[in-house]
Structure 1
Amino acid sequence: MTAENRITESYVIPPELSDRRLDQAAASLMPEHSRSRLQSWIKSGALTVNGEVRKPRDKVMLDDRLELNAEPEVQVTWQAESIALDIVYEDEHLIVLNKPAGLVVHPAAGHADGTLVNALLHYAPEVENLPRAGIVHRLDKETSGIMVVARSLIAHTSLVDQLQTRTMGREYEAVVVGTLTGGGVVDAPIGRHPQERKKMAVVASGKPAVTHYRLIERFEAHTHVRCKLESGRTHQIRVHMTHVKHPLVGDPLYGGRFRLPKGATEELREVLSRFHRQALHARKLTLMHPATGEEMSWETELPEDMVNLLAALRKHRDELEQREF
């Protein structure tokens, strides 16, 4: 590791942090670093007080000087790959991108390469020094849409905090089976399915999860909805909409038996039978910029497959209405 790549920072203890524990004072002065990382640096001697190695619980006094001289920890060992990315916005702290359906976010068993992380390591090599290569939230492989990636430590800390405090706004669009008569809220805990380990389910022992949904357009046997998350559980929208008996069109895991609406035309039959992913798109993302504090928001258009699905449903509805006249 070259000298210019090392993390070197220096701070003087202000009056309000005098007589505080070293790890607590360091966390206040350097919020872009996690507490566990700061404690590790204190114990290793990378973070010193007046040039001396101290313990995390030792007290610091007014005008003590904290000096950090540490090597960034390589957080990932995955390989960089040249994979095209649809970048919506970027700066030194953030990358906001539009993920296509079919792209896996993290390398895992069966997906060691060809993932979003592999692409990010090629596009922005600095993310190798961040936990999970800067990924703070994810989209399922077959869910398309907008997501944010941290490009700096300060951004990673801020984005994780915004997710935990539910101040990051995330809105999705979905096409569900069945006709809804109005919007609503699903407030039901989500945990691992008791019998099928690949699935999540509404279970009493699960973690709290809240999904708000409202109607965009209603069809003969389907509904186009917008969903807003308060929490971010695995498969949350898919599980919650299935829980209220309106699974997502095309969902291979939660959609159940394939069904066609009564009176479906051959064209609609073909569109529905060929839609092999959950009809879910992350449409809008709102957050506070980690460095400036400015509220920022981005939206992405629906992908072609969902546009075509909605067009087919709309055409079928309109044809039925014309027959009635």
Structure 2
Amino acid sequence: MNENIPPLEDIEDLADESGVKKVEESATVPVTASGQRLDQAAAELFSSYSRSKLQAWIKSGELTVNGSKAKTRDKMLGGEQLDLNAELQEQGSWKPEAIDLDIVYEDEAILVLNKPMGLVVHPAAGNHTGTLLNALLHHSPDLIHVPRAGIVHRLDKDTTGLMVVAKTLEAHTDLVAQLQERSVSREYEAISQGVMTGGGMVEANIGRHPKQRTKMAVSNFGGKEAITHYRVIQRFDAYTHIRLKLETGRTHQIRVHMSHIGYPLVGDSAYAGRFKIPKGLDKALIEKLRSFPRQALHAAQLGLIHPISGEYMEWEADLPEDMVDLLRELKDAQGPAYI
């Protein structure tokens, strides 16, 4: 934001008796913003809200210039008074549900939780209830006014670990920007098939699978940029415990990338193919591997800049018991081949 832009004036954020949340804010366009479009100036002055939200309010007349309705493309001269009198509409018809949450950290702006296996993040076809979103609305009803109840990124249903949720529009806008700028630190632990010789980076675009539309795939002719860094924690006779860091955040990115380079994740029914039994394993370990109920993937670390304080914060979540048990079995049955 331009340092010459003055702070907001007369800021008030309140809710009426019906529960509709109202926003009343005013600001003066500085001379340094002369020549900017109205929506550009508004985005700098009312940075708690997204550009698209502000454009909608300009079109509806809830954001006015010198008391009059204006157009998003109107040029500012400097000195105009912008008044925002808007209602934050509920963002969906989802219902709160009393589902336990493992909350690692919470304040007025953000919530960090450790997601368990089997919990769908957002309602979709076949999963209209029983999701993390439903649980969040029960925990904090005001989240109904934040897009997707504050969810700014996702984990697959059977991936465990850390997620951040925005509790306000200001925090939501800020966290989305951090994710787009790739400044959020996200590290995972996984158990892959095969013995890796060392760490590395996978840089391969990911798009929708051309034939199986519920899956993703590496795409040489399109897709979105996807970059995954990985390093070895411990090698076993036929498996590797790895640590991964996301530079981008595409759907199923780690699972697709590890399969692409020939080291699919243990338990990944979508991307690992048929279960193959390595030579020399005892029956107990074979059964443990065959029956592992999910992809062995855990979001172990999350770091970000707090949307309000500007302080860098970081959290760690221990491996879940099923992955701890599997690693113990690998060590007991095979012994580490390499460290």
* TM class, shorter-length: over 0.9
Q: How many percent identity over aligned positions?
A: 59
Letter in 1 for 2:201: V
Q: CA deviation at 1:255?
A: 1.2
1:186 and 2:218 correspond: no
Letter in 2 for 1:281: H
- Describe the superposition over 1:235-278 as per-residue Cα deviations: whole angstroms up to 9, x where unpaired: 00000000011100000101111122222122212211220200
Using structure 1 for the length normalisation, give the TM-score.
0.95
1-structure distance, mates of 2:282, 2:224: 42
2:28 aligned partner: 12
Letter in 2 for 1:231: T
1:118 aligned partner: 134
Q: In the TM superposition, what are the counterparts of 1:1-325 in structure 2 within 5 Å?
A: 2=16, 5-204=21-220, 205-318=222-335
| Unpaired runs of at least 5, structure 2 | 1-14
Q: CA deviation at 1:320?
A: 9.0
52-61 or 77-86, which moves further after superposition?
52-61
Letter in 2 for 1:183: G
* SS class of match (2:335): helix
Task: Give the direction of change, closer, same or farther, for the CA distance of 1:164–1:228 in structure 2 (3 Å limit).
Answer: same
2-structure distance, mates of 1:178, 1:319: 13
73-82 or 245-254, which moves further after superposition?
73-82
Q: CA deviation at 1:5?
A: 2.9
2-structure distance, mates of 1:203, 1:104: 26
- Describe the superposition over 1:131-184 as per-residue Cα deviations: whole angstroms up to 9, x where unpaired: 111111100000000010111111111111111111111000000000001001
Letter in 2 for 1:195: K
Q: CA deviation at 1:50?
A: 1.9
57-66 or 100-109, which moves further after superposition?
57-66
Which of the pair is proportionally richer in helix? 1
Q: CA deviation at 1:66?
A: 1.0
2-structure distance, mates of 1:34, 1:253: 36
1-structure distance, mates of 2:65, 2:109: 29
Using structure 2 for the length normalisation, give the TM-score.
0.92
* SS class of match (1:128): helix
299-308 or 272-281, which moves further after superposition?
272-281
- Describe the superposition over 1:157-212 as per-residue Cα deviations: whole angstroms up to 9, x where unpaired: 11111111111110000000000010011111111111111111111111111100
* Aligned partners of 2:218 and 2:257 also within 8 Å: yes
1-structure distance, mates of 2:168, 2:138: 16
* Aligned partners of 1:252 and 1:276 also within 8 Å: no
19-28 or 311-320, which moves further after superposition?
311-320
* Aligned partners of 1:146 and 1:282 also within 8 Å: yes
1-structure distance, mates of 2:22, 2:45: 18
* SS class of match (1:286): strand
User: Over aligned residues, Cα RMSD in angstroms?
Assistant: 1.6
2-structure distance, mates of 1:319, 1:123: 43
2-structure distance, mates of 1:106, 1:76: 12
* Aligned partners of 1:173 and 1:227 also within 8 Å: yes
Task: Give the direction of change, closer, same or farther, for the CA distance of 1:319–1:29 in structure 2 (3 Å limit).
Answer: closer
| Unpaired runs of at least 5, structure 1 | none
